[in-house]
A and B are shown apart, each in its own frame.
Chain A
Amino acid sequence: MMAKHLYNGISKIKSSEFWKIIFSIIGILIIILKPRSLFDIIRILLVSILGIFSMILSLTIWVFKILGWGYLCKLKIKNFYCWTRLAILIFPILGLLAMIIVFITVFLNNPSYIYQLNFDSNKELRLILFFTAIFFSVGYIFESVAIYDLSIVYKNKTLKYGSIMYLLAVIISPIISMNSTRNLYLSILGNMFQVVISLFIYNGLSNVQKTIIYDQQYPRYR
């Protein structure tokens, strides 16, 4: 039973990393295909479809993560995995709520802001990004540290490097999210970096899965 949960957990986290790769590639495509005017119908359509697809993907990734860490939590081998699941579950919701609350507050204070949605010059809107970036990141910090822990347990170097890069990427993510509206190259770079990280983690988790198959399972405690 333990091995099954472990295998399923790793498998779900691995799936989330796979969809993350697709998500990042779509992110790059959206930036490249960004319409230049309202009359650029084909691009608007393409970007809208890709946008909806990426929204569905982000939900899928989120669900896979929750399921994956949920399985590892069920093993009762380490409390941290349960905290990771909780953080992944709660912080994105908090981030979304913060975004909605700040947006509504800003809009109620000055409805004309709806016409001035400029994230570069508008401090209130930058504040939305600030809170969102912080809240969204906390869950990912937990996840990166948990993956790092798995890499130590299974002595997997690829997973270790992937988790360290993941943690670094999360720490610098506010720079990207707060500058992404005017700095498209930075956004593309961020997405490309995300692809590399996910590849590392995906590969590392595959190796961990093999180890589980060969009955190594989760190393025992002293």
Chain B
Amino acid sequence: MNTQIPYSTKSNDRSLFMIVALAIIAIIIVAIVSFIYPSTFIGFERINIESIGVIKIQGALADTQGFTILGSTTGVQQYINLIENAIKDPSIKAVLLYVNSPGGTVSASEKLFYEIEKLSYKKTVVAYVEGYGASGAYMIILPAKKIIASESSLVGSVGVYSVIINYKGLLDKLGIQVYTFKSGKLKDIGSPYRNMTDQDKKIYGEIIQEFFSIFKERVLKYRTIIDQEVFTGRPYTSKQAKRVGLIDEIGTYDDAINITKKLAGLPEDAPIRVLEPPKPSLLDLLFRLYIKPKIRIVPSHEILAMWPPPVVEP
């Protein structure tokens, strides 16, 4: 059984090298495309079935992640990234924002508000509050088509504030003198090392009022408020919040999911995908954890849209 196949070594070698050359060209093209457009192939992991994306927004909202005067905070950038992914993903028809947050800084809340507003133009957005949906956290969910809260949630606290601690009296008692050299008399407004003047207080009052009026305008744009007490900054229980127009429904998480599916015109068995920030890689765990928490210089006070107010834990 000795099979003989007509075979020419040289010509065969040549054709094999040709295949190799073509394959190398192909792999270089693929590698260049992968390098220049890394997101081109991300679609592989996506299930191309119309689904609901769930984004969980939890904890105090701040511009950066870490430990600030608000305690442990969640950087809003990671939520913004998730929202941008949801906008780009054609398989996500609706987004349910699961919120349990007391709010945070005005700037961080505003960033997230704009992003959710952008999302609401492209997809059906529903918000579900479980626990806290107060102040800045309430502001961010305003563009949602429906706001649903669990029975024992606290919602509202529409307003902004700033807490300034003054150490002047304490420093005087300790005999410590602080010299501040400034270009203008108001440059160190809010400094904890000197007493506040009437002018300082007036300016602070104006800042807070200005920020509050922006917040109020947003509430009035998206909600029909039937009680002006809402703008005193008080928090409401879910029942009260529904009565004054801050929320639409009281229900469970499952109710929120069903309502979202209904609003987006999705079937009852439409899949739910919890959108999470990417898990840290082994390298991240090894190198990044050691540099966290980052020590950062924080302003002695911030304009907050947050309720309950933060406390510094001993």
Binds B, one of A11-19, A64-72, A76-84, A199-207: A76-84
Contact partner of B45 (CB less than 8 A), chosen from A145, A171, A186, A217, is A186
CA distance A214 to B1 in the complex (A): 8
Give the Cβ gap from A68 to chain B, nearest Cβ, in Å.
Answer: 17
Which residues of A have CB within 8 Å of B24?
138, 141
CA distance A47 to B8 in the complex (A): 50
Give the Cβ gap from A31 to chain B, nearest Cβ, in Å.
Answer: 11
Binds A, one of B62-70, B247-255, B283-291: B283-291
CA distance A142 to B20 in the complex (A): 6
User: Across the A-B interface, how many residue pairs have beta carbons closer than 8 Å?
Assistant: 124
Which residues of B have CB within 8 Å of A183?
41-42, 44-45
CA distance A119 to B26 in the complex (A): 23
Q: Is the interface of A mostly helix, strand, loop or mixed?
A: helix
B120-155 vs A, CB cutoff 8 Å, 1 = contact: the mask equals: 000000000000000000000000000000000000
Known: A80-B13, A117-B284. A222 touches B34 (CB 8 A): no
Q: Does B283 contact A117, Cβ atoms closer than 8 Å? A: yes
CA distance A217 to B4 in the complex (A): 10
Which residues of A have CB within 8 Å of B30?
171-172, 174-175
Q: Does A118 contact B38, Cβ atoms closer than 8 Å? A: no
B18-44 vs A, CB cutoff 8 Å, 1 = contact: the mask equals: 011001101110110011001001101
Binds A, one of B86-94, B169-177, B274-282, B304-312: B274-282
Q: Does A78 contact B12, Cβ atoms closer than 8 Å? A: yes
A134 at the interface (CB under 8 A from B): yes
Q: Does B34 contact A174, Cβ atoms closer than 8 Å? A: yes
Which residues of B have CB within 8 Å of A214?
1
Measured as residues with beta carbon below 8 angstroms from the partner, the interface class of chain A is 35 or more
Contact partner of A170 (CB less than 8 A), chosen from B9, B23, B281, B288, is B23
Give the nearest-CB partner of B283 in chain A. A117
CA distance A118 to B19 in the complex (A): 36
B184 at the interface (CB under 8 A from A): no
Known: A170-B23, A171-B30. A216 touches B285 (CB 8 A): no
Q: Does A222 contact B8, Cβ atoms closer than 8 Å? A: yes
B7 at the interface (CB under 8 A from A): yes
A107 at the interface (CB under 8 A from B): no
CA distance A181 to B7 in the complex (A): 46
A110 at the interface (CB under 8 A from B): no
Give the Cβ gap from B48 to chain A, nearest Cβ, in Å.
Answer: 13
Contact partner of B288 (CB less than 8 A), chosen from A47, A115, A173, is A115
Give the nearest-CB partner of A221 in chain B. B7
Contact partner of A171 (CB less than 8 A), chosen from B7, B27, B44, is B27
CA distance A181 to B38 in the complex (A): 12
B199 at the interface (CB under 8 A from A): no
A130 at the interface (CB under 8 A from B): yes
Give the Cβ gap from A162 to chain B, nearest Cβ, in Å.
Answer: 15
B217-231 vs A, CB cutoff 8 Å, 1 = contact: the mask equals: 000000000000000
Q: Does A79 contact B1, Cβ atoms closer than 8 Å? A: no
Which residues of B have CB within 8 Å of A134?
27-28, 31
Among B8, B23, B287: residue with most chain A CB under 10 A: B23
Residues of B within 8 A of A (CB): 1-9, 12-13, 16-17, 19-20, 23-24, 26-28, 30-31, 34-35, 38, 41-42, 44-45, 278-279, 281-289, 291
Pairs A–B under 8 Å by Cβ, sample size 24 = A38-B286, A79-B13, A115-B291, A117-B287, A120-B38, A130-B35, A145-B16, A145-B20, A145-B23, A171-B26, A171-B27, A173-B27, A174-B27, A174-B31, A174-B35, A175-B34, A179-B41, A183-B41, A186-B41, A215-B2, A216-B1, A216-B3, A219-B5, A221-B7
Residues of A within 8 A of B (CB): 34-38, 47, 77-80, 83, 114-115, 117-120, 126-127, 130, 133-134, 137-138, 141-142, 144-146, 148-149, 153, 167, 170-175, 178-179, 181-186, 189, 214-217, 219-222
